[in-house]
Copies of this chain bind each other. A is one copy, B any other.
Amino acid sequence: MAKKQIKKSYHHGHLRDALINAALKLIEKKGVKGLTLREIAKHAKVSHSAPYRHFKDKADLLTAVAVEGFETLVKETHKRFETVSGDPLSRFRESGLAYIDFAIAHPSHFRVMFGLGENRQQTPPALKKASGESFRILLDSIMACQEKTYIKAGDPMELALCAWSIVHGFATLYIEGYIKKYDYEGNQRLKEMITDNLYLGLHIKP
């Protein structure tokens, strides 16, 4: 509720969040490549050097944006769980579809979430945590499915990795333009086919 302050003071008050939001807006509009620290600062109505009081450098800001992405992905996935039966298999399936839909809805944001690697020595802890929580959803639903023998036995970690791979691969190929021949309904079908093929691979009973 400390949001509607009249901005008159020298200090901004919520600059860190404002910068992340500005970055998000600019990313959606102009993509990651054209994203500039100075333009972000300008949008937050602050000088070009101000961001350095809140972020070590540009990559650090982008890491925060990526974290934000994983967090909203988790939120949206949970929201979609409520629109579907409590059956663990339905949840498993829904988590994959939510992942793909998120990527398609926010391609640039999605790229930031995964396009930071770039010879990085190691993943920043905040990012590791956020992405881990997203992965956790997949892992949990797989284990729940295993308990009901919907999914074959085996290291759930590895099975989850397989599941993640297929939805991530599809999402990536889609937003990079390698899957285009199908209109929206066609893609809807494709998405389902992907999860179905995966299920066949992990299923016990058809």
Contacts and interface: CB of A to CB of B under 8 A. Distances in A.
Which size bracket describes the interface of A in this complex? 35 or more
A31 B115 CA distance: 12
B178 A169 contact: no
Interface string A174-194: 011111010000000010011
Nearest to A116: B176
Q: State the number of copies, please.
A: 2
Question: Which of A108, A181, A198 is packed against the most chain B CB atoms within 10 Å?
Answer: A198
Question: Which of A159, A170, A202 is packed against the most chain B CB atoms within 10 Å?
Answer: A170
Contacts of A190: 158, 161
Interface in A73-118: 107-108, 111, 114-118
Contacts of A177: 117, 120, 122-123
Contacts of A141: none
Interface of A: 30-33, 107-108, 111, 114-120, 122-123, 131, 157-159, 161-162, 164-170, 172-173, 175-179, 181, 190, 193-194, 197-202
